[in-house]
Amino acid sequence: MIRKSVKCWKKTIGAAIAFVLLLGTALPASADIIYEPDDPFYQTNMEKCETDYMGACYEICAKDGKADLYKSPEDKTVTATLENGRSFWANTYYTDDNAVTWVFAELGSEAGWISENALFRYYDNQMFEEDYGSEIKNPGEELQDLDFTEYSEIVIYSYPNAQNAFGSLEPNENFGVSRVYTDALGRNWGYCGFYMGRRSFWFSLDAPGATPEVLYQTGALEPDTREKVQGEPVAPEGNAFSGNTMKLLISLVGGTCGIAVVVLILMLIGKSRKKK
């Protein structure tokens, strides 16, 4: 696991990961690397937070059409306000004493914590396995002899029947299929946990090189049957200072101190003149 290093390096890597995953491409990284955000709350509460390698993609989906990012799950300071429809990748979570799950979001220069109930999670392999796990089987011996190197390209998907492929690979050596799935139209899918920097992907066993346009000519299926429900954002149970309130307070304090300094200088000048 990579720990804290140079701040700009970590922010650059985080932005790159989010950009790659939101485009639906694969993340070319070693299997033991987990991205960790350069966030003060995370750094001081690392043992209470959860991070995972794959992460997930989310979309802002709040009842009021927007949701706030907060400085931490324990601090009401607002760092940014995001409109519905904004998307981001995340892999860092924190659950507070009220069982509210908080997600750390980074969208360029905008970063902060947001309650999970104000988000819509895009369907992914983890959710597919939860929904269709009973239909996913171990591969038979006949799959052990398949030679995938005969294909110039294998199109890969995040889960069977995903609307879009998230990339392709050119196999220069054979790789194992650890799980198989047959969909409602009889199409056979194979799962690979890791190969050539690509982690957790599915591909068609019937036509490994088929793009979605070709593969779904016999009919498209949509595993994700959820409705996109707008949730009510939750604010942290911490101090009540928003970013604007804090700026106003600092301005008032600064202005008061400035006036006090001017008054003191005038008093000193007045005393000096009286002595003359």
Whether 158 and 152 have beta carbons less than 8 Å apart is answered as: no
- Which one has a higher pLDDT value, 46 or 254? 46
Whether 113 and 69 have beta carbons less than 8 Å apart is answered as: yes
Mean pLDDT of 77-87: 96
User: Does the pLDDT at position 240 exceed 80?
Assistant: no
Whether 57 and 121 have beta carbons less than 8 Å apart is answered as: yes
Mean pLDDT of 173-192: 91
How do residues 103-161 score in pLDDT, each as one tens digit? 999 999 999 999 999 999 999 999 999 999 999 999 887 776 677 888 889 999 999 99
Residue 27 pLDDT: 40
Q: Per DSSP, what are the bridge partners of residue 59?
A: 87, 120
Residue 270 pLDDT: 60
Report how far residue 119's alpha carbon sits from residue 58's, in angstroms, rounded to the nearest whole number.
6
User: Does the pLDDT at position 271 exceed 80?
Assistant: no
Mean pLDDT of 247-275: 56
Lowest mean pLDDT among 58-67, 144-153, 164-173, 181-190: 144-153
Residue 150 pLDDT: 84
User: Does the pLDDT at position 263 exceed 60?
Assistant: no
Lowest mean pLDDT among 14-28, 37-51, 234-248: 14-28
3-state secondary structure of 116: helix
Residue 98 pLDDT: 94
Residue 34 pLDDT: 82
How far, rounded to the nearest angstrom, does the alpha carbon of residue 249 sit from its chain's CA centroid? 33
How do residues 157-174 score in pLDDT, each as one tens digit? 999 999 999 899 988 777
Task: Give the dihedral sign, CA 154/156/162/164.
Answer: negative
User: Does the pLDDT at position 73 exceed 70?
Assistant: yes
pTM across the whole model: 0.70
Alpha helices in the chain (DSSP H): 7-22, 40-44, 125-132, 212-215, 243-275
- What is the 8-class DSSP label of residue 237? S
Residue 32 pLDDT: 54
Report how far residue 106's alpha carbon sits from residue 88's, in angstroms, rounded to the nearest whole number.
7
Per 3-state DSSP, what percentage of the chain is helix, strand, and coil (rounded to 5)?
Answer: 30, 30, 40
How do residues 195-205 score in pLDDT, each as one tens digit? 877 889 999 99
Report how far residue 10's alpha carbon sits from residue 18's, in angstroms, rounded to the nearest whole number.
12
Mean pLDDT of 67-91: 96
Lowest mean pLDDT among 63-77, 89-103, 255-269: 255-269
Whether 205 and 189 have beta carbons less than 8 Å apart is answered as: yes
User: Does the pLDDT at position 242 exceed 80?
Assistant: no
Which tokens is 164 given?
């879009």
How do residues 27-40 score in pLDDT, each as one tens digit? 434 445 788 999 99
